[in-house]
């Protein structure tokens, strides 16, 4: 290594380098060198090398190695390009002795065996500082540690030829790398639920604002930007986990009537309280992940937010029972929408107070309320104006009886019913839904192990009082195999927009109905058939024919779907196993 100039080395390279110059290796090289010297008849023993040439070569090779692998690794062996040249160049039909040995060492990925040049089994080459003849143009040149191997992996090539081949190699690896990167990008954006292709100017600008949110100094005046855009910015920065005390101020524009905060986990109690002080005109308030909310904040809201019509509290686990009751007493009468999720402090007493004080509720969502049991649910029968009812993932035993009572009294008004995760419900609930819910257009019932195929079929078969569902989530009904799905499609096939059949053990012949039943699912936009084992390429292709409007097809865990499946370009297949490889490679 003349002059001591080196490119960055990996530890392994360094180690092998030291291995490469051991005694036997030097000996064999020496013998070979003598033979070659005789053959070439060159008096190459005492030549001194002009120093400028060496430095030039070193510079050249260092830059090539760094650029070929730029962005991938920071440790680069100086001989990378040398090895790449060996392996990627096609071997011509010469019959030299060491060729087979060369082949043995060859690895499938040419860019990764940077240490092969120091393999002791490899044919000896002229040492740095010696004179050799280029394998391509046959000119005389001085070997340096950065000299590249010839096209057959034999001998070396001169700097000029090295530059030419380096460019070719660089282009090839770069192309490969770019193609892989593009594929990965496409898959990543698929998984993120983003549309591929050109983004709208609005989305581009929103991303820029969200990225520089810390530098935004003024309140985002929604008269100028538009309410919709401010909300979108809030969503994006919540996703980036950048909604905190500082950035919250940008969204508190006095005079607005709706405030949606998608992630309050970094907002302090004091700042939450300020919302009540700054925005007394609020009608709808959504606070997700508001773990820092305390009794004091909620009671302050109840005195301050006199216009409130709807409130969503996600995970307010510090707020206590008396405080909820006091809030309902103060503001309950005007409330139309209420969502409470993820808390263990709401129980039958709180529900009782809710029912007594909020007679005008139209929308009630109770998600993951641990203490919600049959007794508490039965109290909801008094909420006569309810249009939307969600009781999902209740922690305690929630039996058929209570749900049936509720449906019997208020079912006729319901447009949306969500019973996801109510595991103890049976076919009886489905029967009650059939009897009581003529206006239903959104229905979820998941994970209820006792619901049978026949039960689902009986709900939908000739359900004439209901004009058809738009949204149906029947995921993880472990007995839904054939007749249920047939009945759903017959009843709601023309109206369904979203259908979730995740983990339903549909039989292969259940799919026949989709195309032989004669119904086209004209409005279906989104379909989830994840973990349905009977799905394969043929099924997906047929599905795309039957559902002309389909935009989103979720296929997580349906591992018979391959990359070869032919679907129209407007359908995004999400979660295909073949795509996921790109995420990890």
571 interacts with another protein by CB under 8 A:
no
306 interacts with another protein by CB under 8 A:
no
224 interacts with another protein by CB under 8 A:
yes
The DSSP bridge pattern shows strands 498-500 and 148-149 to be unpaired
Q: Stretches 29-37, 193-201, 302-310, 391-399: which one binds another protein (CB under 8 A)?
A: 193-201
Beta carbon of residue 256, minimum distance to another protein (angstroms, whole number): 17
19 interacts with another protein by CB under 8 A:
no
At 371 the three-state DSSP class reads coil
566 interacts with another protein by CB under 8 A:
no
138 interacts with another protein by CB under 8 A:
no
Q: Which is nearer to another protein, 181 or 581 (CB)?
A: 181
Interacting residues of 232 by C-beta distance below 8 A, sequence separation 6+: 202, 206
Q: Which is nearer to another protein, 230 or 501 (CB)?
A: 230
Structure tokens given for 581: 């490889």
Among 208, 384, 580, 583, binds another protein (CB under 8 A): 208
Q: Stretches 202-210, 241-249, 308-316, 469-477: which one binds another protein (CB under 8 A)?
A: 202-210
Beta carbon of residue 576, minimum distance to another protein (angstroms, whole number): 15
Q: Stretches 198-206, 296-304, 409-417, 484-492: which one binds another protein (CB under 8 A)?
A: 198-206
Q: Which is nearer to another protein, 136 or 219 (CB)?
A: 219
Beta carbon of residue 196, minimum distance to another protein (angstroms, whole number): 5
Among 112, 229, 522, 537, binds another protein (CB under 8 A): 229
At 259 the three-state DSSP class reads strand
The angle that helices 348-357 and 321-331 make with each other, rounded to 10 degrees, is 10
The DSSP bridge pattern shows strands 337-343 and 388-392 to be unpaired
What is the x/- site pattern for another protein, positions 231-270, by CB under 8 A?
----------------------------------------
Beta carbon of residue 206, minimum distance to another protein (angstroms, whole number): 6
CA distances from 156 to 5, 14, 125, 212, 494 (A): 20, 21, 8, 52, 71
Q: How far apart are CA 585 and CA 371, in angstroms?
A: 45
What does the CA dihedral 401, 404, 410, 412 come to, rounded to 10 degrees? -170
Q: Which is nearer to another protein, 12 or 583 (CB)?
A: 583
Contact 440, 466 (CB under 8 A): yes
Using the 8-state DSSP alphabet, how is residue 199 labeled? P
Contact 66, 76 (CB under 8 A): yes
Element (H, E) at 88: helix 80-88
Beta carbon of residue 223, minimum distance to another protein (angstroms, whole number): 10
Q: Which of 249, 234, 326 is nearest to 288 (CA)?
A: 234
At 142 the three-state DSSP class reads strand
185 interacts with another protein by CB under 8 A:
yes
CA distances from 73 to 5, 68, 294, 425 (A): 20, 10, 49, 55
Among 47, 74, 186, 408, binds another protein (CB under 8 A): 186
Beta carbon of residue 207, minimum distance to another protein (angstroms, whole number): 8
The DSSP bridge pattern shows strands 416-419 and 388-392 to be parallel
202 interacts with another protein by CB under 8 A:
yes
Q: Which is nearer to another protein, 160 or 208 (CB)?
A: 208
Q: Stretches 105-113, 191-199, 483-491, 544-552: which one binds another protein (CB under 8 A)?
A: 191-199
Q: How far apart are CA 124 and CA 156, in angstroms?
A: 11
Beta carbon of residue 233, minimum distance to another protein (angstroms, whole number): 8
Q: How far apart are CA 325 and CA 307, in angstroms?
A: 18
At 522 the three-state DSSP class reads coil
Q: Stretches 206-214, 274-282, 332-340, 357-365: which one binds another protein (CB under 8 A)?
A: 206-214
Q: Stretches 43-51, 86-94, 153-161, 192-200: which one binds another protein (CB under 8 A)?
A: 192-200
Backbone torsions φ then ψ of 141, nearest 5 degrees = -155, 170
Among 27, 70, 196, 270, binds another protein (CB under 8 A): 196
Encode burial over 262-301: b for 16+ CB neighbours within 10 A, e otherwise.
bbbebbeeebbbbbbebbeebbbbbbbbbbbbbbebbbbb
Among 198, 464, 518, 585, binds another protein (CB under 8 A): 198
Beta carbon of residue 183, minimum distance to another protein (angstroms, whole number): 8
209 interacts with another protein by CB under 8 A:
yes
At 340 the three-state DSSP class reads strand
Q: Which is nearer to another protein, 22 or 221 (CB)?
A: 221
Q: Stretches 196-204, 318-326, 330-338, 394-402: which one binds another protein (CB under 8 A)?
A: 196-204
As a three-state string, the secondary structure of 414-459 is CCEEEECCCCCCCHHHHHHHHHHCCCCCEEEECCCCCCCHHHHHHH
How many residues bind another protein, per CB under 8 A?
Answer: 23
Among 22, 70, 140, 226, binds another protein (CB under 8 A): 226
Beta carbon of residue 263, minimum distance to another protein (angstroms, whole number): 21
CA distances from 83 to 14, 108, 109, 170, 179 (A): 16, 13, 11, 13, 23
Among 164, 199, 239, 241, binds another protein (CB under 8 A): 199
Interacting residues of 288 by C-beta distance below 8 A, sequence separation 6+: 261, 262, 263, 264, 312, 314, 315
Among 94, 200, 566, 585, binds another protein (CB under 8 A): 200
Q: Which is nearer to another protein, 40 or 580 (CB)?
A: 580
Neighbours of 208 (CB within 10 A): 10
192 interacts with another protein by CB under 8 A:
no
What is the x/- site pattern for another protein, positions 163-182, by CB under 8 A?
-------------------x
At 186 the three-state DSSP class reads helix
Q: Which is nearer to another protein, 168 or 182 (CB)?
A: 182
Residues found near another protein in the complex (CB under 8 A): 182, 185-186, 196-202, 204-206, 208-209, 211-212, 215, 224-226, 228-229
């Amino acid at each position: 290594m003349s002059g001591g100039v080196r490119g960055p080395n990996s530890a392994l390279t360094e180690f092998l380098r030291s291995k490469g110059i051991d005694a036997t290796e030097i000996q064999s090289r020496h013998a070979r060198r003598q033979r070659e010297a005789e053959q070439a008849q060159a008096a190459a023993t005492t030549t001194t090398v002009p120093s400028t040439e060496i430095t030039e070569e070193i510079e050249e090779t260092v830059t090539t190695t760094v650029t070929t692998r730029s962005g991938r690794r920071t440790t680069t062996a100086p001989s990378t390009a040398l090895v790449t040249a060996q392996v990627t160049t096609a071997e011509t039909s010469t019959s030299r002795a060491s060729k087979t040995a060369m082949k043995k060492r060859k690895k499938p990925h040419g860019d990764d065996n940077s240490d092969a040049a120091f393999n002791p089994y490899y044919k000896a080459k002229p040492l740095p500082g010696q004179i050799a003849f280029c394998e391509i143009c046959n000119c005389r040149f001085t070997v340096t540690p950065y000299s590249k191997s010839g096209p057959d992996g034999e001998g070396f090539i001169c700097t000029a030829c090295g530059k030419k081949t380096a460019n070719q190699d660089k282009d090839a690896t770069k192309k490969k790398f770019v193609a892989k990167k593009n594929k990965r990008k496409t898959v990543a954006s698929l998984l993120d639920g983003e549309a591929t292709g050109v983004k709208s100017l609005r989305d581009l600008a929103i991303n820029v604002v969200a990225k520089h949110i810390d530098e935004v100094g003024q309140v985002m005046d929604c008269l100028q930007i538009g309410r919709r855009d401010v909300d979108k910015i809030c969503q994006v920065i919540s996703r980036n986990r950048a909604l905190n005390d500082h950035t919250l101020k940008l969204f508190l524009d006095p005079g607005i009537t709706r405030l949606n905060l998608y992630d309050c986990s970094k907002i302090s109690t004091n700042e939450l309280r300020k919302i009540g002080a700054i925005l007394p005109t609020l009608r709808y308030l959504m606070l997700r992940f508001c773990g820092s909310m305390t009794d004091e904040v909620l009671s302050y809201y109840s005195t301050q937010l006199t216009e409130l019509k709807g409130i969503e509290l996600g995970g307010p686990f510090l707020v206590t029972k008396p405080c909820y009751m006091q809030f309902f007493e103060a503001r309950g009468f005007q409330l139309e929408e209420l969502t409470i999720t993820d808390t263990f402090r709401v129980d039958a007493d709180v529900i009782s107070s809710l029912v007594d004080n909020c007679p005008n509720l139209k929308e009630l969502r109770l998600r993951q309320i641990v203490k919600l049991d049959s007794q508490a649910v039965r109290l909801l029968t008094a909420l006569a104006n309810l249009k939307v009812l969600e009781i999902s993932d209740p922690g305690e035993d929630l039996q058929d009886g209570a749900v049936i009572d509720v449906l019997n009294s208020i079912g006729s008004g319901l447009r949306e019913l969500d019973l996801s995760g109510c595991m103890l419900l049976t076919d009886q609930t489905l029967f009650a839904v059939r009897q009581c819910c003529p206006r239903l257009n959104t229905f979820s019932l998941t994970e209820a192990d006792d619901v049978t195929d026949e039960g689902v079929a009986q709900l939908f078969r000739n359900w004439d009082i209901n004009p058809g569902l738009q949204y149906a989530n029947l995921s993880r009904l472990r007995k839904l195999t054939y007749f249920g799905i047939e009945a759903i499609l017959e009843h709601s096939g023309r109206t369904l927009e979203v259908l979730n059949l995740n983990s339903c053990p549909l039989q292969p012949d259940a799919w026949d109905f989709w195309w032989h039943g004669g119904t086209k699912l004209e409005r279906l936009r989104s379909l989830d058939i994840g973990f349905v084992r009977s799905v394969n390429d043929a099924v997906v292709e047929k599905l795309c024919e039957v559902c002309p409007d389909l935009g989103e097809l979720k296929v997580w865990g349906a591992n018979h779907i391959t990359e070869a499946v032919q679907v129209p370009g407007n359908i995004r297949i999400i979660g295909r196993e073949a795509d996921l490889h790109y995420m990890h490679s």
